[in-house]
Amino acid sequence: MVVRHITGKRPCISNSTVEKTLKWHILRLLRLKSRDCRVLMKTLNAMYLGYWSVHEPLVETVVHDLVDEGLVRRTEVLEITDRGRDALLREETRILSHLERGFSKDACAMYSLWGNVFLSALEFMIGFVSGSIGLLADAVHTAIDIIASALTWIGIRMDREEEAALSGGIILLGVGVFIAYESVGSILNPSPLSFQAIAIITILINIVVNGVFSYYKFYVGGRKRSISLIADAYHTKTDIWSSVAVLVGLLGASVGVFALDALAGAVVSVFIVLGGYELIKESRQVMQGEDPRVEKYSRFLEGHLRVLPERGVFVSLWFYNLAPMSEQENRIRLKNSLGRHYPISLEDRDYDAIYQTLKEEGLVEATDGIFRITDRGREVLHTLAEQPAAVFPITGRRFLNPRLINWYAEGL
């Protein structure tokens, strides 16, 4: 594993940011092991790897409130009560319910279906009023997306995702041929457009909405390794590029180049045909028993799959840095944290590779089946914390940040 050292100013996490979730972090640490306040603060410092300078008055205030609520008992040490365990269980149930409700395959497909209904209706209305062949072509494309999204939803409900992906590819191919035919005729006989400003605003709305849905479906599809959702997300991604082509055509028409609008429709058809061919090819391979290459259609998923080994090593070391534990216990904690939130779901072979790296590189050592982090492991842990948080970093945010710490803490 190659670790890249990054230089720069060390970021700090503020008290106000930590305060929002400190109650739950303390309860989880006390559920892991009872400890006195001094050891608790030391463990919190290890939890944030020094990115938060532990503010003793804040910790004391939160502990005092937990004691008053009957969630923690203070004797010689701090220990969680049965009431505290129940409160923590309710919070974890709420988190799981949120994840299942918002990031289930069924919900994602349904939201996509209704999003396409809205976009298609809007584009048809503005397309007819303005006379834009490019906008009408995109409206037809989006209308077919309704069928594709419906097939995806039905395929998920009936556990026939590969067939749903294949059907979506065939539909996409047919739509591309139809739009190409209509566009060629309009290039030969261009006509002026009306209400161009409204048409431009409409296509911009389409691009933004499809961008959100494409990311959402790639994220859920990657987490569930769902070939039908990935296919639908890829379909939506082609919508974005085709809409950009329509936008160029509308901008051209606004300066009097009306044939550019029809040319945009032809460009749309090329994207659609190529996308349909790829989906048909991939879904047929999956139906023949090959593993679905969900990362093939998304740089987002491909990038996360590429850095998965170092992300997994980091989170595993993060748990070992808080307390010694068996490999099985660490694996369960890893599944309940990184496994819940990572954009592409981890399989058994991914977990096996993580623990193989930990052992081969001397990042952990075992005594009677209990693993402890080594000095080398701590060095790698702090170095990995400095890596960019995103696969395609836009900001300077580091890999260790409050949101990710909250995710990891769910495994405690």
**DSSP per-residue string spanning 195-260:** -HHHHHHHHHHHHHHHHHHHHHHHHHHHHHT-HHHHHHHHHHHHHHHHHHHHHHHHHHHHTT-THH
Which carries the bigger pLDDT value, residue 338 or residue 9? 338
pTM, full prediction: 0.68
Could you give the CA distance from residue 73 to residue 81 in angstroms, rounded to a whole number? Answer: 6
Q: CB of 298 within 8 A of CB of 217?
A: no
Q: How much is the pLDDT for 153?
A: 60
Residue 315: CA count within 13 A, CB half-sphere: 31
Residues forming beta bridges with residue 79, ordered by sequence position: 73
Residue 249 has pLDDT above 80, yes or no: no
Residues in the chain: 412
Look at residue 280 and tell me whether its pLDDT is greater than 50. yes
Pairwise CA distance, residues 33 & 45, whole Å: 16
More confident: 285 or 114: 114
Q: What per-residue confidence (pLDDT) applies to 168?
A: 63
Query: Cα(228)–Cα(221) distance, rounded to whole angstroms?
Result: 8
What confidence score (pLDDT) does residue 391 get? 53
Q: Does domain 105-297 have CATH number 1.20.1510.10?
A: yes
Long-range pairs for 355-362: beta carbons < 8 A, 24 or more residues apart? 355/316, 355/327, 355/330, 355/331, 357/1, 357/309, 357/313, 358/313, 358/316, 358/317, 361/1
Please report the pLDDT score of residue 213 as a whole number: 84
- Output the pLDDT for position 329: 93
367 pLDDT more than 80: yes
Given a contact cutoff of 8 angstroms between Cβ atoms, the answer to whether 246 and 265 are in contact is: yes
Which residue has 């989880």 as its token pair?
A: 28
List pLDDT tens digits, range 42-58: 999 888 888 888 889 99
Q: What is the mean pLDDT of residues 245-273?
A: 71
| DSSP summary character for residue 398 | B
Distance (Å, whole) CA 153 – CA 400: 36
At a CB cut-off of 8 Å and minimum separation 6, what does 12 contact?
51, 52, 53
Q: Which residue has the higher pLDDT, 296 or 152?
A: 152
Task: Extract the tokens encoding 204.
Answer: 């911009």
Query: What confidence score (pLDDT) does residue 218 get?
Result: 79
What integer pLDDT is reported at residue 5 of this predicted model? 43
Model pLDDT, residue 186: 59
Q: What is the mean pLDDT of residues 369-384?
A: 91
Mean pLDDT of all residues in the chain? 77
pLDDT at 9 (0 to 100): 46
Tell me: the pLDDT tens digits for 61-99? Answer: 999 999 999 999 998 899 999 999 999 999 988 888 877
**220 contacts 226 by C-beta, under 8 angstroms:** yes
With CA atoms as reference, report the closest residue to 191 among 138, 133, 109: 133
More confident residue, 127 or 339: 339
DSSP state of 388: B
Which residues contact residue 138 at a Cβ distance below 8 angstroms, ignoring those fewer than 6 apart? 123, 127, 203, 206, 239, 242, 243, 246, 268
Which residues lie below 8 Å from residue 89, measured CB to CB, with a gap of 6+? none
Spatial separation of the C-alpha atoms in residues 248 and 400, rounded to whole Å? 41
* Domain 299-409 coded CATH 1.10.10.10: yes
Q: Are 225 and 165 in contact (CB under 8 A)?
A: no
- Give the CATH class of 15-101: mainly alpha
pLDDT for 396 beyond 70: no
Residue-level pLDDT at 194: 55
Residue ranges per structural domain of the chain: 15-101, 105-297, 299-409
CA gap 273, 268 in Å, rounded? 9
**The domains spanning 15-101 and 299-409 adopt the same CATH topology:** yes
